[in-house]
Chain A
Amino acid sequence: QVQLVESGGGLVKPGGSLRLSCAASGFIFSGYYMSWIRQAPGKGLEWVSYISSSGDTIFYADSVKGRFTISRDNAKNSLYLQMDSLRAEDTAVYYCARENNIVFENWGQGSLVTVSS
């Protein structure tokens, strides 16, 4: 069955960096578009970034453009999110999600990122 497992979250100071990883299994990872979606504590869902199956097409939400970098390693069945210049408002649970029919069909359990001094 499809499994997505995020890791790499934690506590970081404002202005700091963090790299999230998402390990995929149970499907042909290289055949699917992937996204990162976040949810601030007690708040709704916010799409963060998208990457095509080959990695050659990438988009970001305006709120993270220029600070976050999405990437993938199809040989390792892994998705990444490099987060730089972190702000307090980036505090959230970050989910990786597999897209199918342009919707988020499968989600990981999430990784909590807390930005605080």
Chain B
Amino acid sequence: ETVMTQSPATLSVSPGERATLSCRASQSVGTRLAWYQQKPGQAPRLLMYDASTRATGIPARFSGSGSGTEFTLTISSLQSEDFAVYYCQQYAGWPPMYTFGQGTKLEIK
């Protein structure tokens, strides 16, 4: 099983600043990585797939990068609605044994 590790567990950033979230895979997943945003009491929302492709309707301030085992989600200028928990997820290999990271909570500084 591919284990996904996210860091930091909690990130405190001021509105308008940049946030950088990290995700590491225990083995190479190529670019088969997605990012999701989850707000309290809501279902997760797909932000990014294939490591760097924004999902439909996702603002350009969200960007993703990386390949292999190291990935980054960057939010260039934080808006109030961006404070949430972010999960990475790998979908490499067959049969599908999708695994998620434990999440990074992005909170207001």
Contact = CB atoms under 8 A, between A and B. Distances in A.
A110 B38 CA distance: 13
Interface string A94-117: 010000011111111110000000
B107 to A, nearest CB: 16
Binding site secondary structure of chain A: strand
A: interface residue count bin: 10 to 19
Contact of B46 (A35, A44, A47, A104): A104
A101 B43 contact: no
Contact of B50 (A46, A101, A106): A101
B97 A59 contact: yes
Interface residues of B, number: 23
A50 interface: yes
A101 B87 contact: no
6 smallest CB-CB distances across A and B, nearest first, come from: A107-B43, A47-B98, A45-B100, A103-B49, A103-B34, A59-B95
Interface of A: 35, 44-47, 50, 59, 61, 95, 101-110
